[in-house]
Amino acid sequence: MNNKVLMMMAVAGVLMINVEAYAGEVELLQSEYQNQGAGPFSAVAGEKMWGQQYIDKKSGKQRSCQTCHGEDLTMSGKHARTGKVIDPLARSVNSERLTKVKFMKKWLKRNCKWTIGRECSAQEKGDFLVYLKGL
């Protein structure tokens, strides 16, 4: 076999392992949410909630997930308060997304509190994940 073929096979193998690891982490978290009574999960519900406007109780201003992440999740976003750049959420352009349960839990908790004003339910988190997983 020539070097090009070997290199292509190696890259394909790494991609397959990465996809399997990603799928396993998301499914592990979804399973946890199902054990809490959530499910079945809906990408449509996740997308709807993603674009929904919420009123911040302190400022009275509207905010949504799109306020910081933007409408196109293949592009970088920018945090509304800090100005910090947020890497794209779409797994298709950012291979680090949805790969670590601890990271997903942390950011779902923090972002739900900041955007919605409360923690998201297990159902809402599962809906977000199935929506994001499809991007």
DSSP for 69-99, written as a single string? H-S-TTS-EE-TTT--EE----TTT-TTTT-
Q: Cα–Cα distance between 62 and 50 in angstroms, integer?
A: 13
Q: Cα–Cα distance between 50 and 32 in angstroms, integer?
A: 21
Centroid of chain to Cα 18: 16
Q: Is CATH 3.60.15.10 correct for 3-133?
A: no
Q: What is the mean pLDDT of residues 99-126?
A: 96
| pLDDT of 7 above 90 | no
Whether residue 77 contacts residue 64, with contact meaning beta carbons closer than 8 Å, is answered with no
- pTM here is 0.80
Q: Using one digit for the tens of pLDDT, what is the confidence trace for 61-92? A: 999 999 999 999 999 999 998 999 999 999 99
pLDDT score recorded for residue 3:
56
Q: What is the mean pLDDT of the chain?
A: 87
Residue of 79 and 16 predicted with greater confidence: 79
